[in-house]
Structure 1
Amino acid sequence: MAAGEEDETERVRRSSSKTPAKKSARKTSTGRASSRTSEDETKRTARRLSAPRAMRYAAEQLQELLGRAPESVSALKPTEEGWQANVEVLELERVPGTTSVMASYRVTLDKEGELVAYERTRRYTRGQIDPRG
Protein backbone atom coordinates (compact mmCIF):
# COMPACT_ATOMS: atom_id res chain seq x y z
CA MET A 1 0.00 0.00 0.00
CA ALA A 2 1.17 3.53 -0.69
CA ALA A 3 1.85 5.97 2.12
CA GLY A 4 -1.28 7.72 3.31
CA GLU A 5 -3.57 4.89 2.19
CA GLU A 6 -5.36 2.66 4.65
CA ASP A 7 -6.86 -0.71 4.07
CA GLU A 8 -10.58 -1.45 4.49
CA THR A 9 -10.21 -3.16 7.87
CA GLU A 10 -8.36 -0.20 9.37
CA ARG A 11 -11.12 2.16 8.23
CA VAL A 12 -13.76 -0.07 9.82
CA ARG A 13 -11.85 -0.24 13.11
CA ARG A 14 -11.49 3.52 13.28
CA SER A 15 -15.12 4.26 12.53
CA SER A 16 -16.35 1.78 15.11
CA SER A 17 -14.12 3.29 17.81
CA LYS A 18 -16.01 6.59 17.52
CA THR A 19 -19.33 5.07 18.52
CA PRO A 20 -20.14 5.24 22.24
CA ALA A 21 -19.80 2.02 24.17
CA LYS A 22 -23.02 0.36 25.23
CA LYS A 23 -23.66 -0.35 28.90
CA SER A 24 -22.97 -3.91 29.79
CA ALA A 25 -25.06 -5.88 32.23
CA ARG A 26 -23.69 -5.99 35.77
CA LYS A 27 -22.72 -9.23 37.42
CA THR A 28 -24.61 -10.21 40.55
CA SER A 29 -23.21 -12.15 43.48
CA THR A 30 -24.47 -15.35 41.84
CA GLY A 31 -22.41 -14.63 38.74
CA ARG A 32 -25.43 -14.15 36.46
CA ALA A 33 -25.73 -10.96 34.46
CA SER A 34 -28.30 -8.51 35.74
CA SER A 35 -30.95 -7.60 33.21
CA ARG A 36 -31.97 -4.49 35.15
CA THR A 37 -30.44 -2.13 32.60
CA SER A 38 -32.21 -3.79 29.67
CA GLU A 39 -35.50 -3.87 31.61
CA ASP A 40 -35.20 -0.15 32.34
CA GLU A 41 -34.46 0.56 28.67
CA THR A 42 -37.45 -1.54 27.61
CA LYS A 43 -39.74 0.39 29.96
CA ARG A 44 -38.48 3.73 28.65
CA THR A 45 -38.90 2.56 25.06
CA ALA A 46 -42.45 1.40 25.81
CA ARG A 47 -43.35 4.80 27.23
CA ARG A 48 -41.88 6.56 24.21
CA LEU A 49 -43.79 4.61 21.53
CA SER A 50 -45.60 7.46 19.82
CA ALA A 51 -48.81 7.24 17.82
CA PRO A 52 -47.04 7.77 14.45
CA ARG A 53 -44.52 5.06 15.30
CA ALA A 54 -47.31 2.68 16.40
CA MET A 55 -49.11 3.31 13.09
CA ARG A 56 -45.94 2.57 11.13
CA TYR A 57 -45.21 -0.61 13.13
CA ALA A 58 -48.78 -1.89 12.67
CA ALA A 59 -48.70 -1.31 8.90
CA GLU A 60 -45.18 -2.72 8.39
CA GLN A 61 -45.73 -5.89 10.40
CA LEU A 62 -49.12 -6.60 8.83
CA GLN A 63 -47.56 -6.18 5.38
CA GLU A 64 -44.87 -8.69 6.34
CA LEU A 65 -47.50 -11.26 7.32
CA LEU A 66 -49.95 -10.71 4.45
CA GLY A 67 -47.54 -9.92 1.66
CA ARG A 68 -49.72 -6.95 0.65
CA ALA A 69 -48.96 -3.28 1.18
CA PRO A 70 -51.42 -1.48 3.49
CA GLU A 71 -53.19 1.52 1.98
CA SER A 72 -53.79 3.35 5.26
CA VAL A 73 -54.25 3.15 9.00
CA SER A 74 -57.83 4.25 9.57
CA ALA A 75 -57.90 4.09 13.38
CA LEU A 76 -55.44 3.92 16.25
CA LYS A 77 -55.99 3.84 19.99
CA PRO A 78 -53.78 3.17 23.00
CA THR A 79 -54.68 0.21 25.21
CA GLU A 80 -53.44 -1.11 28.55
CA GLU A 81 -51.30 -3.65 26.67
CA GLY A 82 -50.02 -1.32 23.93
CA TRP A 83 -51.89 -0.16 20.81
CA GLN A 84 -54.78 -1.26 18.61
CA ALA A 85 -54.99 -0.14 14.98
CA ASN A 86 -57.33 -0.63 12.03
CA VAL A 87 -55.32 -1.08 8.83
CA GLU A 88 -56.88 -0.93 5.35
CA VAL A 89 -55.42 -3.31 2.76
CA LEU A 90 -56.11 -3.75 -0.97
CA GLU A 91 -56.95 -7.45 -1.32
CA LEU A 92 -58.03 -7.65 -4.97
CA GLU A 93 -57.39 -4.95 -7.54
CA ARG A 94 -60.06 -4.52 -10.21
CA VAL A 95 -60.89 -2.12 -13.02
CA PRO A 96 -62.46 0.31 -12.41
CA GLY A 97 -60.67 0.95 -9.11
CA THR A 98 -63.94 1.60 -7.27
CA THR A 99 -64.74 -2.12 -7.57
CA SER A 100 -61.43 -3.25 -6.01
CA VAL A 101 -61.85 -5.37 -2.88
CA MET A 102 -60.51 -3.84 0.33
CA ALA A 103 -60.18 -5.33 3.79
CA SER A 104 -59.96 -3.80 7.22
CA TYR A 105 -57.69 -5.54 9.74
CA ARG A 106 -57.60 -4.97 13.49
CA VAL A 107 -53.95 -5.12 14.58
CA THR A 108 -52.90 -5.40 18.23
CA LEU A 109 -49.42 -4.28 19.27
CA ASP A 110 -47.73 -4.75 22.63
CA LYS A 111 -46.05 -1.86 24.47
CA GLU A 112 -42.84 -2.34 22.51
CA GLY A 113 -44.69 -2.16 19.18
CA GLU A 114 -44.55 -5.86 18.33
CA LEU A 115 -47.59 -7.34 16.60
CA VAL A 116 -49.30 -9.83 18.92
CA ALA A 117 -52.59 -10.36 17.05
CA TYR A 118 -54.49 -9.38 13.94
CA GLU A 119 -57.87 -10.21 12.43
CA ARG A 120 -59.78 -9.24 9.32
CA THR A 121 -62.88 -7.43 10.51
CA ARG A 122 -64.44 -6.34 7.21
CA ARG A 123 -64.27 -6.73 3.42
CA TYR A 124 -65.75 -4.13 1.11
CA THR A 125 -65.38 -2.55 -2.32
CA ARG A 126 -63.29 0.59 -2.53
CA GLY A 127 -66.24 2.64 -3.81
CA GLN A 128 -68.53 1.56 -0.97
CA ILE A 129 -69.64 4.23 1.48
CA ASP A 130 -69.51 3.17 5.12
CA PRO A 131 -73.12 3.05 6.41
CA ARG A 132 -71.85 3.68 9.94
CA GLY A 133 -71.12 7.28 8.99
Structure 2
Amino acid sequence: MSNTSNTAKTQNARTAHESDESEEARASTDERPSPMQVLRHARTQLAELTGMAPESVSSFEQTEDGWILEVEVLEIARVPDTMSLLASYRVELDPEGELTGYRRVRRYERGRADPHRPGGR
Protein backbone atom coordinates (compact mmCIF):
# COMPACT_ATOMS: atom_id res chain seq x y z
CA MET A 1 0.00 0.00 0.00
CA SER A 2 2.83 2.39 0.58
CA ASN A 3 3.77 2.18 -3.12
CA THR A 4 0.24 3.15 -4.13
CA SER A 5 0.25 5.95 -1.58
CA ASN A 6 3.63 7.26 -2.78
CA THR A 7 2.52 7.09 -6.43
CA ALA A 8 -0.61 9.11 -5.65
CA LYS A 9 1.45 11.68 -3.71
CA THR A 10 3.94 11.98 -6.59
CA GLN A 11 1.11 12.45 -9.10
CA ASN A 12 -0.55 15.08 -6.90
CA ALA A 13 2.77 16.91 -6.45
CA ARG A 14 3.41 16.79 -10.20
CA THR A 15 -0.10 18.11 -10.96
CA ALA A 16 0.32 20.90 -8.38
CA HIS A 17 3.73 21.82 -9.87
CA GLU A 18 2.29 21.90 -13.41
CA SER A 19 -0.57 24.06 -12.13
CA ASP A 20 1.94 26.47 -10.52
CA GLU A 21 3.91 26.68 -13.78
CA SER A 22 0.80 27.49 -15.81
CA GLU A 23 -0.22 30.15 -13.26
CA GLU A 24 3.29 31.65 -13.48
CA ALA A 25 3.03 31.72 -17.27
CA ARG A 26 -0.35 33.45 -17.05
CA ALA A 27 1.01 35.92 -14.48
CA SER A 28 4.00 36.83 -16.66
CA THR A 29 1.64 37.32 -19.61
CA ASP A 30 -0.65 39.44 -17.44
CA GLU A 31 2.30 41.64 -16.38
CA ARG A 32 2.69 42.92 -19.94
CA PRO A 33 0.28 45.77 -20.53
CA SER A 34 -2.46 45.34 -23.09
CA PRO A 35 -2.45 47.64 -26.12
CA MET A 36 -5.30 49.70 -24.61
CA GLN A 37 -3.39 50.10 -21.35
CA VAL A 38 -0.34 51.25 -23.32
CA LEU A 39 -2.43 53.78 -25.28
CA ARG A 40 -4.07 55.23 -22.17
CA HIS A 41 -0.82 55.42 -20.23
CA ALA A 42 1.06 56.99 -23.15
CA ARG A 43 -1.59 59.71 -23.50
CA THR A 44 -1.42 60.43 -19.77
CA GLN A 45 2.39 60.59 -19.76
CA LEU A 46 2.51 62.86 -22.83
CA ALA A 47 -0.08 65.21 -21.29
CA GLU A 48 1.97 65.45 -18.08
CA LEU A 49 5.16 66.24 -19.97
CA THR A 50 3.78 68.72 -22.49
CA GLY A 51 0.87 70.25 -20.57
CA MET A 52 -1.31 69.64 -23.64
CA ALA A 53 -4.22 67.24 -23.92
CA PRO A 54 -3.91 64.49 -26.54
CA GLU A 55 -6.97 64.30 -28.79
CA SER A 56 -6.36 60.99 -30.55
CA VAL A 57 -3.85 58.31 -31.42
CA SER A 58 -3.41 58.14 -35.18
CA SER A 59 -0.74 55.44 -35.30
CA PHE A 60 0.16 52.57 -32.97
CA GLU A 61 2.85 49.93 -33.48
CA GLN A 62 4.53 47.32 -31.30
CA THR A 63 8.26 46.94 -32.02
CA GLU A 64 11.10 44.79 -30.70
CA ASP A 65 12.05 47.66 -28.36
CA GLY A 66 8.55 48.53 -27.14
CA TRP A 67 5.89 50.69 -28.76
CA ILE A 68 5.74 53.65 -31.17
CA LEU A 69 2.68 55.88 -31.33
CA GLU A 70 1.71 59.01 -33.20
CA VAL A 71 -0.50 61.16 -31.01
CA GLU A 72 -2.51 64.19 -32.14
CA VAL A 73 -2.40 67.07 -29.65
CA LEU A 74 -4.24 70.41 -29.53
CA GLU A 75 -1.44 72.99 -29.27
CA ILE A 76 -3.36 76.26 -29.74
CA ALA A 77 -7.14 76.59 -29.52
CA ARG A 78 -8.61 79.23 -31.85
CA VAL A 79 -12.03 80.46 -32.89
CA PRO A 80 -13.36 79.11 -35.13
CA ASP A 81 -12.21 75.66 -34.08
CA THR A 82 -11.14 74.83 -37.64
CA MET A 83 -8.30 77.34 -37.20
CA SER A 84 -6.92 75.64 -34.07
CA LEU A 85 -3.37 74.35 -34.31
CA LEU A 86 -2.81 70.65 -33.82
CA ALA A 87 0.42 68.71 -33.77
CA SER A 88 1.43 65.10 -34.27
CA TYR A 89 3.88 63.73 -31.76
CA ARG A 90 5.88 60.54 -32.24
CA VAL A 91 5.92 58.85 -28.84
CA GLU A 92 8.27 55.99 -28.01
CA LEU A 93 7.63 53.62 -25.12
CA ASP A 94 9.49 50.69 -23.60
CA PRO A 95 7.89 47.19 -23.55
CA GLU A 96 6.13 48.00 -20.24
CA GLY A 97 4.53 51.12 -21.74
CA GLU A 98 6.71 53.73 -20.03
CA LEU A 99 7.50 56.76 -22.17
CA THR A 100 11.15 56.89 -23.26
CA GLY A 101 10.95 59.79 -25.71
CA TYR A 102 8.74 61.99 -27.85
CA ARG A 103 9.08 64.62 -30.55
CA ARG A 104 6.75 66.78 -32.62
CA VAL A 105 6.75 65.57 -36.21
CA ARG A 106 4.28 68.02 -37.75
CA ARG A 107 2.01 70.95 -36.96
CA TYR A 108 -1.18 71.82 -38.84
CA GLU A 109 -4.51 73.63 -38.70
CA ARG A 110 -7.44 71.43 -37.70
CA GLY A 111 -9.39 71.99 -40.91
CA ARG A 112 -6.46 71.40 -43.22
CA ALA A 113 -5.73 68.11 -44.95
CA ASP A 114 -2.17 67.02 -45.62
CA PRO A 115 -0.97 67.32 -49.20
CA HIS A 116 -0.19 63.97 -50.77
CA ARG A 117 3.30 62.88 -49.77
CA PRO A 118 5.14 60.03 -51.49
CA GLY A 119 5.75 57.05 -49.24
CA GLY A 120 2.77 57.78 -46.99
CA ARG A 121 4.72 59.96 -44.53
Q: 1:35-114 maps to which residues of 2 (within 5 A)?
A: 44=28, 48-114=32-98
Alpha-carbon distance between aligned partners in 2 of 1:69 and 1:101, rounded to the nearest angstrom = 13
Partner SS for 1:131:
coil
Q: 2: CA distance between counterparts of 1:122 and 1:56?
A: 22
AA of the residue aligned to 1:93: A
Instruction: Read off the aligned partner of 1:70 and give its amino acid letter.
Output: P
Summarize deviations over 1:106-133 as a string: whole Å, max 9, x none: 0000011100010000000000112247
> Retained in 1: the 8 A contact 2:87–2:105?
yes
Structure having the higher Rg: 2
User: In 2, Cα distance between the equivalents of 1:65 and 1:58?
Assistant: 11
TM-score, normalised on structure 2? 0.69
Provide the secondary structure at the position in 2 that maps to 1:75: strand
Structure with greater helix percent: 2
Superposed CA offset, 1:38-59 (max 9, x none) = xx89x92686322111111111
Counterpart amino acid of 1:71?
E
1:116, 1:102 → 2: CA distance?
22
- Superposition misfits of 4+ residues, deviation over 4 angstroms: none
Identity of aligned residues (%): 55
Counterpart of 2:113, as a letter, is I
Aligned-partner Cα distance in 2 for 1:118–1:79: 16
Q: Confirm or deny: 8 A CA contact 1:83 1:108 kept in the other structure.
A: yes
- Normalised to the residue count of structure 1, the TM-score between the two structures is 0.63
The equivalent residue for 1:4 is none
The total of aligned residue pairs comes to 93
SS in 2 for 1:107: strand
- Counterparts of 1:130 and 1:47 in 2: how far apart (Å)? 39
User: How many angstroms does 1:105 deviate by?
Assistant: 0.2
2:100 maps to which of 96, 100, 116: 116
Rounded to whole Å, the distance in 2 between the matches of 1:47 and 1:82 is: 14
